[in-house]
Amino acid sequence: MADGSIEVTGGADDLDDTISLPSPTLLNKLKSSNLPMNLFHSVNNAFIRKTIIFTSEGEIICGWANNDNIEVEDGEELGAVPRVFAVTIVNYCLQFLGNCSDLAKEIYKEEEQEQEQDVKSIRLSFGSKNEFILVPDNEFVICVVAERKYS
């Protein structure tokens, strides 16, 4: 796991045995930086949503999230993945994002206790102004969404 990879212990047959995730350094930079305003975004009820999608090779793709569906530039919708894969990715990312609020831990605990086999997104909240949504997929591994309310 030190090389930025995780081993998938179960899930869809078309998944590789090892999926590379963005490096801890990249995740930390993303957490501490302000996302540029010219990133793909949508404005709804005084919120602006900015999305970054990583491929399994760690390449960054810009996209946007609306409800629980993730769309990329060509409009192709990304599907859900098995619960065990989603939980594995969330656990891995939490090690490096760190400093998650109690609210984030509670939301994650509730998500983890659900009995559904598939999941589209797991929402984790960091601090009072930012929200991160982790959306695992067999091709687009993780999506991080930041929302800021205008004053």
Residue reference for tokens 């009820």 = 45
Buried-exposed string 51-81: b where 16+ CB fall within 10 A, e elsewhere? bbbbebeeeeebbbbeeeebbbeeeeebebb
Mean pLDDT of 68-73: 38
Residue reference for tokens 């991160």 = 132
Exposure of 47 in the CB half-sphere (CA atoms within 13 A): 13
For residue 113, pLDDT over 50 is answered with yes
When pLDDT is cut at 50, 70 and 90, the band that residue 28 belongs to is low
Q: Is the pTM of this model over 0.75?
A: no
